[in-house]
Amino acid sequence: MQRYLEQILSFTNIYTIFFCQNKKLGRHQKQSTNMASCFSMARVFLAFLVVASSLGHVFSSPLLSDSGDRQRANHTKEIQRLKLKLRRINAYLNKINKPAFKTIQSPDGDVIDCVLSHLQPAFDHPALQGQKPHFVQEDPPERPNGYKYTEAVAESESFQLWADSGESCPEGTVPIRRTRQKDIQRASSITRYGRRRVRRDSTGSGHEHAVAFEKGDEYYGAKASLNVWAPRVCNEYEFSLSQIWIISGSFGNDLNTIEAGWQTDAYRATGCYNLLCSGFIQTNNKVAIGAAISPTSSYNGRQFEIGLMVWKDPKHGNWWLELGSGILVGYWPAILFSHLRSHANMIQFGGEIVNSRSSSSGLHTSTQMGSGHFAQQGFGKAAYFRNLQRVDWDNNLLPITNLRLLADHSNCYDITQGRNNLWGTYFYYGGPGRNVRCP
């Protein structure tokens, strides 16, 4: 039994978890990310092109004889290394890309495969092999008391670019963004693709946060509305996300977390995200986790948000993910967890970035969090979370009243909270990263 499951559902290409939408639910350059503002991003694209073209160069260039056998040996080793890498990549793609019942081309270039529900990657997990997905129509999860939703509105909601094609996945299938060779080549290694480093503590390792949290009780879920933006990310080692954390255990080897939100990163190379991690069972045929969200908010312009709720179904004990006005996306089986098999001891909301420059150049990254503007700028300028709620032991949805704030690099990214009758408990958060107060 694995000791933790950390998965982000990213939705804004802005991903991906989560979306990882980036996301997290979704992260990437198909959003309105401005690559010119971070030159390192251009270098990343160039490096990829060099890698992609290097194999053809090796095969086509003549062996120079001035260095004799040593040069021939080096060419031979390089050819063998690249051949082996391509074989490993293709073997990995064959494993994670399941047979498609139908294929849909997204306007942003993504390919969405409609995969039979029982063949989705979740069932590669040893604890789930041979099982079948939960049929929501026959046995829906028990939503929290006090939560109101409109099924008709939920069915009509559309917020992802691939759905703009007018096509959809048939009943009995789930839409999965196809992983391509270039996605894996952009990662540091095949084994690192789609994997996110587990947090050993709340800070450190270049991770920086502006978050609101509540702890000290037993938590069975959390809900909020997240303002969706497309923050700039400066290089392939960084990401920017906005999400909900469901946490149990301590920041160490016994940590269990469920994370859902939207995320932006350079190449989807960071996460045990989306459906790349076996374990999250998708039940919805209209939401492609990891695909691009559209539209996103603009400074002093129209604002867009997504509603997210993660809660523990009291009937079967699984942790469910709901999106928007009642869209059941799927669930994490309770059997996958140790601490979260029972309940969470902390819930957290807000933003996180990775600053890869912290130990190298000494200069802070210009990767943005939220809208890229500080919290004090308020509505239409700073990103927000609103209507923060929690689920208690009796499956009641309650307002959060004991919220605490943390901004571990407040000159770079900050956070302020408030409360009113319309938004309930809310906060603004984010920032530009490097600036005169954050050199």
pLDDT digits (tens, 9 = 90+) for 212-258: 999 999 999 999 999 999 999 998 788 899 999 999 987 766 788 89
Residue 136 lies in a domain: yes
pLDDT at 25: 43
pLDDT band at 271 (very low <50, low <70, confident <90, very high): very low
Domain assignment of residue 52, yes or no? no
Range ranked top by mean pLDDT from 193-197, 292-296, 298-302: 298-302
pLDDT reading at 205 higher than 80: no
Q: What is the DSSP letter of 364?
A: P
Residue 75 tokens, joined: 């060419």
Of 248, 224, 5, which is closest to residue 128 (Cα–Cα)? 5
Evaluate if residue 369 carries a pLDDT over 60: yes
| Residue 239 burial by Cβ neighbours in a 10 Å radius (0-12, 13-18, 19+) | buried
Q: Would you state the pLDDT for residue 358? A: 64
Quick check: 150 pLDDT over 80?
Answer: no
Domain residue limits at 110: 8-42+95-430
Residue 172: is its pLDDT beyond 80? yes
The pLDDT of residue 27 is above 80: no
Residue 322 is a catalytic residue = no
Residue 349 inside a domain? The answer is yes
Q: Is the pLDDT of residue 363 over 60?
A: yes
| Structural contact between residues 263 and 241, judged by C-beta atoms closer than 8 angstroms | yes
Residue 66's pLDDT band, with cuts at 50, 70 and 90, is low
Residue 396 domain-assigned (yes or no): yes
- Residue with the larger pLDDT of the pair 228 and 60: 228
Domain tally for the chain?
1
| Confidence label for 185 from pLDDT (cuts 50, 70 and 90) | low
Omega prior to 126 cis, within 30 of 0: no
Mean pLDDT of the chain: 78
258 belongs to a structural domain: yes
* 398 domain-assigned: yes
Say what percent of the chain tops pLDDT 70.
73
At residue 6, does pLDDT exceed 60?
no
Indicate the residue type of 359: S
Among the listed residues 214, 236, 259, 305, the single catalytic one is 259
The pLDDT, as a whole number, for residue 267 is 40
Residue 171 falls in the annotated catalytic set: no
Spacing of C-alpha 46 from chain mean position:
25
What pLDDT is recorded for position 155?
54
Residue 79 lies in a domain: no
pLDDT at 275 exceeding the cut of 70:
no
Minimal CA–CA distance to 51: which of 92, 13, 96, 89? 89
pLDDT 10s digits, 77-86:
888 787 787 7
Q: How many C-beta atoms surround the C-beta of residue 316 within 10 A?
A: 14
Rounded to an integer, the average pLDDT of 374-397 is 98
Q: What is the DSSP letter of 435?
A: B
Mean predicted confidence (pLDDT) in 5-31 = 34
The rounded distance, in Å, linking the Cα atoms of 353 and 430 is 10
43, pLDDT greater than 50? no
| 145 assigned to some structural domain | yes
Work out the average pLDDT over 355-368: 84
Does residue 422 carry a pLDDT above 70? yes
Burial of residue 102 (CB within 10 Å: 0-12, 13-18, 19+) is middle
User: What SS3 state is found at 212?
Assistant: strand
